[in-house]
Amino acid sequence: MNTLTVSDVTLAFGGLYALSDVNLTIQAGLITSIIGPNGAGKTSMLNCISGFYHPTRGAIRFGDKVLTHASPHQVSNLGIARAFQNIELFRGMTVLDNLMLARHRKLDYRFWHALIYMGRASRQEALNRAFVEEIIDFMELEPYRKQVVGSLSYGVQKRVEVARALTLDPELLLLDEPMAGMNIEEKEDMVRFVLDIQKERRTTVVLVEHDLGVVMDISDQIYVLDFGQLIGSGRPEEVARNPKVIEAYIGED
Amino acid sequence: MSANRWFATGNFFSAYRDEQRIFTTHLDRAIFITFLAALFIWPLCFEVSSKYMLVLDNILIAMVAIIGLNLVTGFAGLISIGHAAFVGVGAYTLALLARTIGDSHVIITHAWPLMLLACGAMGAVFGGFVGLPALRLKHLYLAIATLSFQMIFQWTINFLPLFNQGQTIPVGRVFWFTGEVSRRDHYFFWYYVTLTIVVIFGLSVRNLLRTRYGRSLVAVRDNDRAADAMGMHPGLTKVYAFGLAGFFAGVAGGLHAYLYRGVGIESFMLHQSITYLAMAIVGGLGTLTGAFFGPAAIRLLDLQVENLVGWSAQFLPATMNLATALKPLTFGLVIVLFLMFEPRGIANWWRICRVYIKLWPFRY
């Protein structure tokens, strides 16, 4: 299991500093949350890790590999998967096809195998289909397997989004507000899924979330960002007592 | 599996490999094979005039081209307004060879299947090259890049003496096992060749679409950010889509050159590109069956308009050029009507028919 280290990362858009000198360490096997008020730079941080942005300064390392300038597909091939905040599914395809797409790299056949289909391509498809079914089972998506994603409800789409990231079979899973816009019941389900992902699938989870109740309950480690700066970190109870964090969230007296 | 695989109406799969089948019942497959056999046999049973055979050849060649266009525009969502130019690349590959080594050289007349592949390969190379802007550009900007290729192609052919400045470059008659294909059998011969190619390409693309090489096309159409996060390079996937389309176009170009026994620029102009796009839309973008319906519908429409004009010549003054007016008019009207009332194309009617028959006597 690899540790993700973000050291002195600065992300500047012209004169605007979305992140300035942020240091994070994401321990393997734990649930680490990144919280902060709106515009604090949480999603920018995830974008830097997953390769959609490249930091202006600083370095990101996963184990002994440097991700600072890696593209999203390279990051994903290293075992870091990401679920998006605004649902970014393949809307015209079925749930099954969405998940099969996440197996793109694992489907081990060549172009000419695909043209003939019989034999290797067929075997590989069936093999990976079995894995996809395992994830469908895990995320309780059985009723929606053959439905087109665009026609599903918001809560289910969010779940498909997480399932798709999980189908990449990652070591590290980045979840960008998986509970945004959900009702209490859906939230409880999602929290249970996140915990199961950590415990049963032995995946490191990085969670960006606005619901502080959820964050305090399930996180092993919390990092707090405000205006692109790291203002606090530690275990949930430490963060809850940190005056800077309280100030960022509630304001001064 | 269910006991009866001829009339099974539901899903009785017990293994993932069962579910990969193209034909769920034996009946589906039997009908399909019968249909294919009929396509091969019917010209032997009836006396067909060369004129109609030429129309059929044209339809089949357009099908080859549209399979390619459908992959890049329908599945990968990249509008290509230069498809006729890619067809032209294929045709001029053959023409250039004919000009350098002689139009009846043994390579051209005897090794024509290899030549067709070479045309396809050249089309793929050009397709991939023209697709390179897809690494940076999206949507309409990319469409303009393909349009510019169409323009560059036309100018290159028109101004280079190497290509006879767009005048016809002859290509020799081909040989079959029975000797040279005669003038009388020419169109029949190419009907069978093109039909075989359409069947092979159709089945290959059907296979491709249920593997990762097909899914990746749809992925970059639907959401290329997410496609990137899934571990595929979206830019290279688009270049691959263009390359694939170029291959089909190139083969179509080679067939076109052999069928007309010559290559001239007028078959690969911009309006032909637009016609190809129209065929893809009328057939149904993003469906394989659409690639067969579209060309047939547009070409048969053309034929009907011609017949109508011929008939009206009996009582209309000869100075009235009805054909020039009616052809673009009906063509435009059909596209507009399809975009308004059936944007999913004829392929959708086909789908509805199939479901209806499958459920009969229950209501769809």
Does B9 map to a domain? no
CA closest to A150 among chain B residues: B222
**Rounded mean pLDDT, A145-165:** 92
For the cut 80, the answer to whether the pLDDT of residue A82 exceeds it is: yes
CA distance A36 to A164: 26
CA distance B254 to B259: 9
Rounded to the nearest angstrom, the minimum Cα separation between B12 and chain A is 15
Tell if the CB–CB gap between B218 and A129 is shorter than 8 Å: no
Does B182 map to a domain? yes
CA closest to A110 among chain B residues: B213
Are the C-beta atoms of residues A219 and A31 closer than 8 Å to each other? yes
Tell if the CB–CB gap between A105 and B211 is shorter than 8 Å: no
Does B139 map to a domain? yes
pLDDT for A242 = 86
Rounded to the nearest angstrom, the minimum Cα separation between A83 and chain B is 9
The CATH code that applies to domain A1-79+170-253 is 3.40.50.300
pLDDT digit string, tens, across residues A203-232 = 999 999 888 888 999 999 999 999 888 998
> Which of chain B's residues have a Cβ under 8 Å away from the Cβ of A102?
230-231
Q: How many CB atoms lie within 10 A of CB B231?
A: 22
> Which of chain A's residues have a Cβ under 8 Å away from the Cβ of B226?
84, 88-90
Does B113 map to a domain? yes
Q: Which residue in A89, A103, A133 is closest to B223 by CB distance?
A: A89
pLDDT for B2 = 53
Rounded to the nearest angstrom, the minimum Cα separation between B317 and chain A is 53
Tell if the CB–CB gap between A93 and B218 is shorter than 8 Å: yes
> Which of chain A's residues have a Cβ under 8 Å away from the Cβ of B225?
52, 72, 84, 88
CA closest to A167 among chain B residues: B230
pLDDT for A253 = 62
The amino acid occupying position B253 is G
Identify the CA nearest to B331 among candidates B305, B362, B293: B305
Does B227 map to a domain? yes
Task: State how far the alpha carbon of B181 is from the alpha carbons of B163, B185, B189, in Å.
Answer: 26, 6, 7
Tell if the CB–CB gap between B226 and A126 is shorter than 8 Å: no
Structural domain boundaries in chain A: 1-79+170-253, 89-169
Which of the pair, B127 or A15, is modelled with greater confidence? B127
Which of the pair, A52 or B1, is modelled with greater confidence? A52
Interchain contact A192–B (C-beta under 8 A): no
* Sheet order of strands, A80-83 included: A80-83, A172-176, A204-208, A31-35, A221-226, A229-234
- pLDDT category at A247 given cuts 50, 70, 90 is confident
For the cut 70, the answer to whether the pLDDT of residue A16 exceeds it is: yes
Cis peptide, bond prior to residue B361, ω within 30 of zero: yes
Q: Which residue in A91, A92, A125 is closest to B20 by CB distance?
A: A125
pLDDT for B13 = 81
Number of structural domains found in chain B:
1
Chain B positions contacting chain A at CB under 8 Å are 15-17, 19-20, 204, 207-208, 210-216, 218-219, 221-223, 225-233, 286
Interchain contact A121–B (C-beta under 8 A): yes
> Which of chain A's residues have a Cβ under 8 Å away from the Cβ of B227?
90, 101
Residue A203: half-sphere exposure toward Cβ, Cα within 13 Å: 26
For residue B226, what are its two tokens? 């997410």
Q: Which residue in B211, B221, B227 is closest to A121 by CB distance?
A: B211
Identify the CA nearest to A229 among candidates A68, A3, A11, A14: A11
What proportion of chain A, given as a percentage, has pLDDT over 90? 56
Tell if the CB–CB gap between A84 and B227 is shorter than 8 Å: no
Q: Which residue in A73, A100, A165 is closest to B228 by CB distance?
A: A73
Does B26 map to a domain? no
Structure pTM?
0.91
Q: Which residue in B204, B232, B286 is closest to A104 by CB distance?
A: B232
Q: Tens of pLDDT along chain B (364 residues)?
A: 456 777 776 777 888 888 888 888 888 899 999 999 999 999 889 888 888 899 999 999 999 999 999 999 999 999 999 999 999 999 999 999 998 888 888 888 888 999 999 999 999 999 999 999 888 888 889 999 999 999 999 999 999 888 887 888 888 888 888 888 888 888 999 999 999 999 999 999 999 999 999 999 999 999 988 999 998 999 999 999 999 999 999 999 999 999 999 898 988 999 999 999 999 999 999 899 999 999 999 999 988 888 888 888 787 776 777 777 788 888 899 999 999 999 999 999 999 998 888 888 887 6
Tell if the CB–CB gap between B231 and A73 is shorter than 8 Å: yes
Tell if the CB–CB gap between B230 and A93 is shorter than 8 Å: no
Residue range(s) defining the domain that contains residue B73:
46-273
Are the C-beta atoms of residues A223 and A236 closer than 8 Å to each other? no
Does B307 map to a domain? no
* E-strand stretches of B149-278: 169-170, 175-176, 179-180, 262-263
Tell if the CB–CB gap between A76 and B230 is shorter than 8 Å: yes
